A and B are shown apart, each in its own frame.
Chain A
Amino acid sequence: MIQKLFVALTVALAALLAPALARAEVKVVTTVPTLASLAKAIGGSKIKVVSLSLPTQDPHFVDAKPSLALELSQADLLLVVGQGLESGWLPALLTGARNAGIQAGAHGHLDCSGRVRVLDVSQNADRSQGDVHPDGNPHYLFDPRAVGAVAEGIARRLGELDPAEAAFFQARLEKFQSRLGEARAAVEGRLARLRGVPVIGYHKSWPYLADWLGVELVDYVEPKPGIPPTPAHVARLLATARKRNVRAILQESYYPEESSALVAEKSGAALVVLPSGADFEGGQSYFAYLEALTQKLESIRP
């Protein structure tokens, strides 16, 4: 009897452990959800994707939960935004993950910023100017042109990690790029009237979006990156908003809205709260996310 029970327990344990040990598909871990949606678009059913953060979460300040180290320990490919966006939390997780294959510089570690034209590179960055990223601004995923470059990099790296499926990834990439080209043209058409329109950003998250759509970034609600708005700064901002006829205040959903709402209300600008990334867990594809972003931006009246 006891022997049979023991056998049953062993089998049960094996059944529990088997999924953790099995490595049939390439496991991709991304730091932000938009990268997860991109990876899934390329990898489809051939890969398993996990994002370490949610779109509602500030990617500068993610808790280094041990459960995230566990995800990384099982990863074959790690996709990071780079430019210092994750430097406050990812390094501790990477060491704890005990996975040589995804350490910085390893083949299973793809810094996606290596494939885009980085803006705001600072030759003499100093933290007296706030929480700046000396290697450049990391918020490039708001620009579909950068997204296309990143998708290509993901497909290439996936193909290298799983050469048997390289053709599959390449075919999905081609479909993705063709769809991206159409989607981008559609959005550019719908938002063409925003060219030259003055806007204020909350954090310095919008240079890539501004570069793509041609909106003019006049100022930021944060006096310096990472520093919450002070009354004096908000007063200056309101004056600027009125003088320059600012039409919108753009911010990600994880920043507080009080100061932005005040400036928006008193200046007649629209407060546009944009999702910081695709809701990957909720099944939102990059294209659905781009549509959501576009609809929000369409509410701006030039």
Chain B
Amino acid sequence: MRHKGISCSALGCIAGLTTALAVARAHAQPVDPFDPDAAGGPVPPAVPTTPGAASTTSPPKQGAGEGELTPEELAEIERATGADAGTLRDAGRGGGLGDSGSGKAPLPVPVPAGAAAFLPDISVVLGAALAAFSTEEPLQAGGHDPSSSGFNLQQVELSLGKSVDPYFRFDANLVFTLEGVEVEEAYATTLDLPAKLQLRAGQLLTRFGRINATHPHGWDFADQPFFWSKVWGSDGNRGLGAELSVLLPLPWYVEILGSTTEAAGEGTARSFYGAEDLGVRSPIDFENLLAVKQFFDLSHDWSLLFGVSAANGPNPSGRHSRTDVFGTDLYLKYRPITRQSFTVVSLQSEWMLRRRQVPDDVLVDVGGYAQLFYRFEQRWGAALRYEYATATQNRSGARVVDPLDPSHAADRHRASAALTFWPTEFSRIRLQGSADVPRWLERPTWAGFLQLETVTGSHGAHAF
């Protein structure tokens, strides 16, 4: 009985709500400030409007009430008018438009269209840093990290992207270093799958968590969190593969994605096959990833992004050995847009748990970071980051020698602070200092970077 009572009242609630909404809508209609007939605006007060304009009689309503058209009829109309639509459109661009009054109407200028319109958008990002470390062997393992005292070329990234056809767009990021060139990313993205599905295929950074899929250009610091280098490798988690994602039809943003990528690569899938590529013998010999991302518009000024991710794939320690990585990410951003302000305050934090099966045991470690960013002037921002990772433990909780990082036999902490100056949104100069405390070393390591980054070309828009 109790259950029945609850379900009935729930139904009643919905019915009531629907009615209330309908009533509200019906009431809202007569007071439409956007109706050209509505009062207000710069019409001289004494002048009465022309009979035509002042008319309050409704124009013919073909889609309302009993005159409602069936979908078949609508399709018929669309077919019949479709032929004319093209000519209407063409006429709209070429002819003299815009002004019903005086003769000083702005005339449309034909937009020059050439083969250049089809060339990919190209941009080049330069990242270089002057670095100083208090040790000759810094523990900087990120591929783009400044990693030795002196000048470091972090990367020259060439980005290309454009629509391929109505169904795909193509994006690539080619990274040039002093050692050579690598195809960091090169993938196609579908534009026209049904049911809000989207497929990406090619060489791609996986969307595990928040920072992994981003590029150094989008980071608040000059180097990547050390646990990311430890779990995924120097270049972050990426590989040849495919990703399918879907936007759920809910009132808030919920995206679910799954991807399958190569499990091999010392710098890209380190906790899976990594450097020991045992090949693909079955579908589970890939890295498979599942992630859910949710976004909440808390207000105009506050936003929250929250995600959970899990990846599973083979590791080379045994015939059926698997590795799991679980992660959670949070990004809280305050950026006032309801008044004049350049302020941005954001809190970003990600944590991962890695679990590797090895013969007769399981190795577990945890790590992550939390960072606070504050843009206090139009061109200035400051950021603080704390990172932590545990030593590797076995099933019984004892510290063990990690086969991938035998020297990392204890916890590691690192704190960094960065001050960034943006001359424009196309360049930035960053000063960063950090204190690294790997407990297996006797002394902490100090580091200082002075980084310069420039962006030339039509750099693509950034994701949130």
Contacts and interface: CB of A to CB of B under 8 A. Distances in A.
Given A166-B81, A186-B42, A257-B340, A87 B53 contact: no
Given A92-B461, A115-B98, A149-B106, A44 B340 contact: no
A186 B7 contact: no
A93 B247 CA distance: 13
Given A98-B191, A149-B98, A168 B340 contact: no
A210 interface: no
B119 interface: no
Interface stretch (A14-22, A193-201, A236-244): A14-22
Contacts of A91: 460-461
Interface string A50-76: 000110110001011111011001000
A117 B99 CA distance: 12
Interface string A142-185: 01011011001100100010011111100110111111111111
Interface in A219-259: 226-228, 253-257
Nearest to A103: B191
A116 interface: yes
Contact of A253 (B59, B340, B460): B340
Interface in B51-85: 52-53, 59-63, 69, 74, 77-78, 81, 85
Interface string A1-25: 1101101100110011101110000
The CB with the most chain A CB atoms within 10 A, among B14, B49, B97, B460, is that of B97
B463 A96 contact: yes
A81 to B, nearest CB: 15
Interface in A84-134: 87-93, 95-96, 98, 100, 103-106, 114-118, 121, 127, 130-131
Contacts of A288: 33, 40-41
B163 A104 contact: yes
Given A64-B461, A66-B305, A153-B92, A57 B337 contact: yes
B41 A4 contact: no
A285 B92 contact: no
B253 interface: yes
Interface residues of A, number: 109
A273 to B, nearest CB: 9
B78 A163 contact: yes
Contacts of A106: 166
Interface stretch (B107-115, B258-266, B275-283): B107-115
B17 to A, nearest CB: 8
B27 to A, nearest CB: 13
Given A118-B109, A186-B42, A256-B378, A5 B7 contact: yes
A65 B62 contact: no
A95 B77 CA distance: 31
Contact of A156 (B53, B92, B108): B92
A92 B189 CA distance: 12
B88 interface: yes
B98 A98 contact: no
A41 interface: yes
Contact of B340 (A56, A167, A189): A56
Interface in B433-464: 456, 458, 460-464
B340 A100 contact: no
B254 to A, nearest CB: 9
A95 B98 contact: no
A243 to B, nearest CB: 28
B49 A168 contact: no
Nearest to B67: A164
Contact of A98 (B40, B198, B425): B198
B406 interface: no
B183 interface: no
Contacts of B44: 182, 186, 189
B108 A114 contact: yes
A186 B43 CA distance: 6
B106 A145 contact: yes
Interface stretch (B145-153, B174-182, B292-300, B314-322): B292-300
Contacts of A69: 247, 253
Interface string A256-277: 1100000000000000000000
Given A8-B8, A93-B461, A160-B88, 6 more contacts: A41-B36, A92-B461, A145-B106, A163-B78, A163-B81, A164-B77
24 contacts: A4-B3, A5-B7, A44-B34, A45-B29, A56-B340, A65-B297, A66-B253, A70-B253, A92-B462, A103-B191, A104-B163, A117-B108, A149-B105, A164-B62, A165-B62, A165-B63, A168-B62, A175-B37, A175-B53, A182-B43, A182-B44, A183-B43, A186-B43, A186-B44
